[in-house]
Amino acid sequence: MVFSRVLVWIVLSLLAAAPAVAQRGGSRQAEQDVERLLEDARRAYDNLELDEADRSLDEAVRTGERAGVRGRVMAEVHVQRGIIAHVRDKDKDRAVDEFRQALTIDRGVRIDSLVSTPSLEALFEQARRLVGPAESEGGAARRDPGITHKPVKRAKANQLVTVQAKVSPELRDQMFRMYLDFRSESVREYRRVEMRDQGDNTFVARIGARFVKGTKLSYYILVEDRDGNQVAQFNDQREPVDVPIDDMATGDSLTGEGGEEEPEDAESAEDTAPRGKKRRIVTLALSVGTGVGRITDKAEAQNRPGSTLQPGMAISPFHTLSELDFWVSRTLSVGMFGRIQVADFAPAGGLRVKFDVLQAGSNHLLLRVGGGYGHISHQVPLDGYRDYTLEGPYFYTLGLTWALDFAKRWAFTVTPDFYHLIGPSPSQQVDLSVGCAVSF
């Protein structure tokens, strides 16, 4: 009898808990769907597909409203909608309203610095005034008694920083996620990384070494419930924890909790970096293509020397192009290249300088200029057969490359190049090459 009662009690408990578990699972799935739609919209915006971006954002709002998703992700959806309202529709009122909704959900949300413009920032500031100051603005920084945190004492430049905090059992029952917002003094906007549960109500976040620059690092801690409402915080954006950055002796603690130098998940804070690649050091590219050029009356057939050739346009089919570039800054590289025409084996190579003049999301536009030594072959008709010429051997070249980042280090490239060949047989040549590039 006792066993039967216990069994009935267990079954009833499981049945009572099942809806809550299902709701949590459904809510998390909906949040992931919203995040995916937001990323789809950002990619479409980067590619100037504004209508497609707007459709993804509308679907994100519907998905979020059905599941009751709140928090940072929904705030960022409204920010992106405001950007499109201003850029595509020139609708300032709607843009301000979308920004206002975003700030109502999360006061820490910002316009991505990669797409920000003075006019967008002005509209965003107008929305901020409509929302009004946050509770903690204008007064002392809030430190919730439910959060126990020993502030980081100091940090060493270009070294990982670990931030640790513990929450009370009461706060643990309310919370869904804990975040660390941080920035160095050289950037205006805060970055956000989720603090990870280490057990015993202790949460940890790590700030990647590449963010620890300058003389000061600032951070604060936020706790949200499942609906995205802020339920606790340790300091705030107005009065964050300020950490001096210096070159202290090796072995000193970077944190108030005795953090680690190189933990296994050192990339955790790197995930919050803006879209796009990290700083390139070396880029290796390989392309294939074809071209067309102009030959003069000084061109000579290679198989039948002395034959009379008709000046004019001639094709220069199938070449490979290999490039190795060393980046001296984020936008300037110096490198070498080799061009080989496969059919007639006409090699050419030289040095080239590249300038990354435009970066929009995953898209890059690079100008390139260089020169070198070698030949370019052109096919010419001769007595019913095809012969070929060799133009050169000196040349200078101008061009541009459109690069689309499709992975962390990889990019798809399309490159038109102009060659001016100088020598016994001068010529002008235009190539079109398509390939891939990998950066380290």
Higher pLDDT, 396 or 199: 396
Higher-confidence residue: 319 or 187?
319
pLDDT for 145: 82
Q: Write the pLDDT tens digit of every residue in 402-440.
A: 999 887 789 999 999 999 999 999 999 999 999 999 998
Residue 318, pLDDT above cutoff 50: yes
CATH numeric code, 26-131 = 1.25.40
78 contacts 102 by C-beta, under 8 angstroms: yes
pLDDT above 50 for 266: no
**Does residue 6 register a pLDDT over 60?**
no
Question: What are the structural domain ranges in the chain?
Answer: 26-131, 147-272, 282-439
Q: What is the pLDDT of residue 350?
A: 97
Alpha carbon distance 49, 42 (integer Å): 10
pLDDT of residue 265: 43
Architecture of domain 147-272: Sandwich (2.60)
- Look up the pTM and report it: 0.43
Percent of the chain with pLDDT over 90: 40
What pLDDT digit, counting tens, does each position of 341-371 carry? 988 889 999 999 999 998 776 788 999 999 9
The pairs formed by 338-346 with CB atoms below 8 angstroms and a separation of 24 or more are 339/374, 339/376, 339/431, 341/316, 341/317, 341/376, 341/377, 342/318, 343/317, 343/318, 343/377, 343/388, 344/302, 344/377, 344/388, 344/390, 346/374, 346/375, 346/376, 346/377, 346/390
Between residues 208 and 308, which one has the greater pLDDT? Answer: 208
Q: What's domain 282-439's architecture?
A: Beta Barrel (2.40)
- Please, which residues have CB within 8 angstroms of residue 61's CB and are 6 or more apart in sequence? 74, 77, 78, 81
Give residue 287's pLDDT: 97
411: CB partners within 8 A, 6+ apart? 364, 403, 404, 405, 436, 437, 438, 439
The band of 104, judged by pLDDT with boundaries at 50, 70 and 90, is confident
Cβ neighbours of residue 306 under 8 Å, at least 6 residues apart?
300
Span 184-198, average pLDDT = 85
Using one digit for the tens of pLDDT, what is the confidence trace for 57-84?
Answer: 999 888 888 887 777 788 889 999 999 9
Handedness of CA 197, 198, 204, 207 (dihedral sign): negative
Q: Which of 10-14, 110-114, 255-259, 385-389 has the highest mean pLDDT?
A: 385-389
pLDDT for residue 256: 38
**What is the reported pLDDT for 210?**
86
CA distance 309 to 295: 9
Residue 142: predicted pLDDT: 64
Q: What does the pLDDT read at residue 67?
A: 80
Mean pLDDT, to the nearest integer, of 41-62?
90
127-148 pLDDT per residue, tens: 888 876 554 444 445 678 889 9
- The answer to whether residue 272 scores a pLDDT higher than 90 is no
Q: What is the pLDDT of residue 279?
A: 67
242 half-sphere exposure, CB direction, 13 A CA radius: 8
